[in-house]
Amino acid sequence: MERTDVPGFEEARRIILESVAKLDAERVDLLGSLGRVLAEDVIAPWNLPRFTNSAMDGYAVRAEDCNAGRALPVIDSVAAGGRSARAVEAGTAIKIMTGAPVPDGCDSVLPFENAEETENTVRALDSIRLGQHIRPMGEDVREGETILAAGRLVRPYEINMLACCGRENVAVVRRPRVAILATGDELVELGEFPGPAKIVNSNAYSLAAAVKQLGAVPVMVGIARDNLASHREKLKQGLEADVLVTSAGVSVGEHDLVREVLEEMGVKIVFWRVRVKPGKAMAFGMKDGRPVFALPGNPVSSMLTFEEFVAPALLKMMGHFEMVKALFPAVLQSDLRKKKGQTALVRVKLECTNGRYLAWSAGRQDTGLVRTMMDANGVAVLPADRETFAAGEEVQVHLLGTTAF
């Protein structure tokens, strides 16, 4: 049964996040795990470093011999990947390269730059510290240790650790397949010239791009025309994916058929409308554990409702712990006004000056103006209980998309 009340901005997002669940796991090759969330603990199969080795190019020595100022005969040389068959005995040194196993008897490495070598002997120019420039076996990781826990986001740094441990593949949370459906007789596809009263189906591409940017898999369903048969056909296709996102046709117009057909197909509409602008007319529903988002048709409304409501849900489904963008304060550079009783999402230009973030309106806030989305790098989230915000006061903002300063 659909909610009779209209949730506010934060409540709507809470409802969505409580409704969706993390997907199951799949095994992928090492590079395929980049940007994904681990679905298993990774246990170290061996120590890292695997053997005690030199951290510098220099000489394997005993510290007490160097500090005594003795000239030490160089009895062998060992490179990375090799191993000396000889031990460092009292009064001797072995030339050693970075990464090479330290020979038996060695307790320190004397770097080349702190040594003087003449006729196969070496003398320390300064005193050295016991154990200097030696990396002990297992200093970084111990065999049997859990080095990466399930739920960890795989970045290039985790890739390095996984490779160090010889992992060719790893289990990660599956990426959701997200069906993207646009609605309306006025739409034409790319490659078709928009004649009179027609517009290009741009929303489907921006939504698919946003899905892809998050790491999920967009599935382009096409356009549902303004009749029940077309809506039934296309929505049936869309409901085969893990997530369905529609654009337009969710308001109260004569040709707004999305909610009617979704309910006919067994989708439980959890709420319709949110006390937020832009995006008031969006709907959220569930069917067989799969979320359905019916977004407004105006391009800015479509993109911002995706940013605020759909993206967090997809991140949760992919196993992420951080799903909602962090808010931080920024100082308004001009007055802003909004309607009381609904949260406003204002496109802003953010700049950091002398350690303070400043926010300018990115331009006219009409939901049909795509240029302001391109010009903005942030969103000011203005609370529902106020109408006016004066230049010079702080408001809460978050970054837009993956943009930075």
pLDDT surpasses 50 at 18: yes
- Residue 99, domain extent: 53-135
Q: CATH number, domain at 350?
A: 2.40.340.10
Using one digit for the tens of pLDDT, what is the confidence trace for 230-242?
Answer: 999 999 999 999 9
In b/e form, how buried is each residue of 289-325, taking b as 16+ CB within 10 angstroms? ebbbbbbbbbbbbbbbbbbbbbbbbbbbbbbbeebeb
Q: What is the DSSP string of 350-370?
A: EEEETTEEEEEE-S---TT-T
Using one digit for the tens of pLDDT, what is the confidence trace for 61-70?
Answer: 999 999 888 8
pLDDT surpasses 80 at 254: no
Report which secondary-structure segment, H or E, holds 335.
Answer: none
Q: What is the mean pLDDT of the chain?
A: 94
Q: What is the DSSP string of 155-181?
A: -HHHHHHHHHTT-SEEEEEPPPEEEEE
pLDDT surpasses 60 at 1: no
From 79, 110, 135, the end of a domain falls on 135
Label residue 322 left, alpha or beta by phi (over 0 means left) and psi (-120 to 50 means alpha). Answer: beta
Instruction: Indicate the number of domains in the chain.
Output: 4
Could you tell me the strand order of the sheet in which 217-224 lies? 217-224, 177-183, 243-247, 290-295, 283-287, 268-272
Q: CATH number, domain at 290?
A: 3.40.980.10
Please give the average per-residue pLDDT across 325-336, as a whole number.
95
Do both 126 and 159 map to the same domain?
no
- Percentages helix, strand, coil for the chain (3-state, rounded to 5) are 20, 35, 45
pLDDT at 334: 92
Structure tokens at 10: 């934060």
Do both 237 and 125 map to the same domain?
no
Using one digit for the tens of pLDDT, what is the confidence trace for 120-177?
Answer: 999 999 999 999 999 999 999 999 999 999 999 999 999 999 999 999 999 999 999 9
From 108, 135, 162, the end of a domain falls on 135
From 317, 339, 369, the end of a domain falls on 317
